[in-house]
A and B are shown apart, each in its own frame.
Chain A
Amino acid sequence: MKALSTVISIHSSDTAGVCSALYELGGMTVVHDASGCNSTYATHDEPRWYEGNGMVYISALTEAEAIMGDDDAFVTRVVRAAEDLGTCRFIAICGSPMPMMVGTDFDALAKIIAERTSLPVIPLHTNGMRSYLAGMAESFTALAERFCREDVQKCPGTVNVLGATPLDFSVNGQVESICSWLREEGFRVRSCWAMGSSLDELSLAAGAEVDLVISSGALALGAYFERRFGIPFVAGVPVGEKFAAFLAEALREAARSGRSSRPCLDCRRGDPAGPGVIGETVMSASIACALELERALPCRVLDPLEPEFGLRGPGDLSVPDEAAVASVFAGAPAVIGDPLYRPVVPAGTPFIALPHEAFSGRCFRKGMKNLIGRNFAKEFPSC
């Protein structure tokens, strides 16, 4: 019964990470799952669903098809849907627990669908058992492998923003604020993975001088770009004026030296006895930096997601399940995190609610804060 959650929520699944990462890019995303599950990936976890067209589909897998291994039914539906749409740039196919149990071979199915549709088909190996970070990481990297062009000239002063999805940043203007801040600092945004940029813009990412990684779900993409195109990455979200200034300087230094850095770890001393900031680590560590620099409040970052995706500074801690979360909260002087953590915060411990779409979905969407740059001073409550 390890990793059991009895009171708190769980994070969005790898499948939701795939759907969110690919949502705006003109491709069709098909989740191989039972009919009716679409709303989980495409509405509860996807605020853009209400604003325009989306191309997230469910294969309507039946019990008989799963038992009989009827992959043809899946292939036929995907091919027909692609033909009906007529305009999709690519097809992404991914799994859920049922295909995992029957061992569906998505690599082979992608090959067959690609032959029948003449479209690029990306197989993604989700199973619904991991967090959205796994889905984001695999989708972004697969997309870059497939679509990023080599024949692109380097443009000085340009930045790719990596890791923008509503699961981490909602649709309350935070991503736009990050891009505006970059322009104020004298950079040009080459591409934003993957909100506000087209697939064609993403395909030119190799021309950027440096990458800004704003979610741990995109650290794998940052490392991939570094390996393939020699673009260094800098990890951090420009939360608060002082940390934003530090981050801007880190971007300039990375552009000069070609070396990657993690300012959201390097810019703070941290304090294992300080308030706990719980959540996705790049954002949480950036909030901790802002608190230390602007309010002289060193904190400890608590990572509730898979440790292999997160960043860990001195004193930071992995809290893989509810028992670990409750145990750490019991000794913390204050907690900063999603409102759905409140039930395990001891009575009397100060709690600052920062809703996180990947943890509480749309429940607290109206309360999502934009903490980018100088917004932090007025939006973040005093501890």
Chain B
Amino acid sequence: MLKIAIYGKGGIGKSTVTSNLAAAFALRGLRVIQIGCDPKADSTVNLLHGEPLTPVMNFLETHDRDPESVDEIAKKGFGGVLCIETGGPTPGLGCAGRGIVTTFALLESLELFETFRPDVVLYDVLGDVVCGGFAAPIREGYASQVLIVTSGEKMALYAAGNIKRAVDNFADRGYARVRGVILNRRMVENEEEKVRAFAEANDLPVVADIPRSNDIIRFEDMGKTVVEGDPALPVSKAFLALADLLVREGLPEKSKE
């Protein structure tokens, strides 16, 4: 099973990258789960064509009981991708990190992986690793590799560096390791050079180069990922190429299929 956590600065396009990657894996015939770990609960919206999904924490708050099955907190989206959102508190209140820990414990008790038997699990995680809860997706048993999304913007690269250091700090805990950097282009001058310099300085490969594309926005307005909307577009091909790379490395038997 391929288990990947996607991190990056707020607003850098993590949810767009994650849901397009999920769609790309699904187009390759893989069983995929995407878990949005953001209180905004909007990670999977473009896989679900705008259909509402009850986030786990909202379910717990409303029903005052644990869900009896995964069906109560998950929905299948494009390509059969199983979509789950942790959800979380109103901004400024409660503890969003705790919401992630609670959700993961619950998914474990519901035996999500044993019953759905995914080939790929994607965790789309809020911004920086701000507290223990936001590191939960990279704990042992969850994601085994981290992909950092960044553009050539100074603050995005700064956040990427922080994330790399945070993950490295957990090395003695048996947590996930950073697999590489995804360049999500923002039309910054010398963008590729800047990101490649960052990657080299941190001894990381750039595993994907996602071009700036209005097609992403066009299909998101229709409640879709661009990979679903038109897999033949260059931007879709970039996501499909990344999916193929990760499958070749992590699921070689699926790659042959």
A residues at B contact (CB < 8 Å): 2, 69, 101-105, 107-109, 111-112, 115
Contacts and interface: CB of A to CB of B under 8 A. Distances in A.
B173 interface: yes
Given A69-B132, A103-B133, A108 B140 contact: yes
28 contacts: A2-B64, A69-B131, A101-B95, A102-B98, A102-B131, A103-B97, A103-B98, A103-B100, A103-B101, A103-B131, A103-B133, A103-B136, A104-B132, A105-B132, A105-B135, A105-B136, A105-B139, A107-B139, A107-B140, A108-B139, A108-B173, A108-B174, A108-B175, A109-B173, A111-B173, A111-B174, A112-B173, A115-B172
B113 interface: no
Contacts of B133: 103
A187 B230 CA distance: 74
Contacts of A104: 132
A123 to B, nearest CB: 11
A107 B135 CA distance: 14
Nearest to B100: A103
A69 to B, nearest CB: 5
Nearest to A104: B132
3 A-B pairs with the lowest CB-CB distances in the bound complex, closest first:
A108-B173, A103-B132, A103-B101
A291 B34 CA distance: 56
A69 B98 CA distance: 13
B170 interface: yes
A112 B139 CA distance: 14
Contacts of B139: 105, 107-108
Contacts of B170: 108
A243 B140 CA distance: 48
Contacts of A101: 95, 98
Given A69-B131, A69-B132, A105 B64 contact: no
Contacts of B172: 111-112, 115
Contacts of B95: 101
A77 B175 CA distance: 23
Contacts, number: 38
A105 B133 CA distance: 10
A375 B61 CA distance: 50
Nearest to B174: A111
Contacts of B136: 103, 105
A303 B131 CA distance: 39
A102 B131 CA distance: 8
Determine the main DSSP class of A at the interface with B: helix
A85 B133 CA distance: 34
Q: Which of A101, A105, A107 has the most CB of B within 10 A?
A: A105
Contacts of B98: 101-103
A342 B216 CA distance: 68
Q: Which of B133, B139, B172, B173 has the most CB of A within 10 A?
A: B173
Nearest to B134: A103
A105 B173 contact: yes
A7 to B, nearest CB: 23
B98 to A, nearest CB: 6
Interface string B161-192: 00000000010111100000000000000000
Nearest to A105: B139
A187 B100 CA distance: 50
Contacts of B135: 105
Nearest to A116: B172
A10 to B, nearest CB: 19
Contacts of A107: 139-140
Nearest to B175: A108
A105 B64 CA distance: 25
A107 B64 CA distance: 28
Interface in B90-112: 95, 97-98, 100-101
Nearest to A110: B173
Nearest to A125: B105
Interface in B120-151: 131-133, 135-136, 139-140
Nearest to A66: B132
A97 to B, nearest CB: 11
A69 B133 CA distance: 11
Contacts of B173: 105, 108-109, 111-112
Contacts of B174: 108, 111
A101 B95 CA distance: 8
Nearest to B64: A2
Nearest to A69: B132
A109 B98 CA distance: 18
A291 to B, nearest CB: 35
Nearest to B132: A103
A104 B174 CA distance: 15
Contacts of A103: 97-98, 100-101, 131-133, 136
B177 to A, nearest CB: 14
A107 B133 CA distance: 15
A59 to B, nearest CB: 16
Contacts of A2: 64
A115 B172 CA distance: 9
Nearest to A67: B131
Given A2-B64, A109-B173, A112-B173, 9 more contacts: A101-B95, A101-B98, A103-B100, A103-B101, A103-B132, A103-B136, A105-B132, A105-B139, A111-B173
Nearest to B95: A101
A79 B98 CA distance: 27
Nearest to B139: A105
A23 to B, nearest CB: 27
B108 to A, nearest CB: 11
A90 to B, nearest CB: 19
Q: Which of A102, A103, A111 has the most CB of B within 10 A?
A: A103
B63 to A, nearest CB: 12
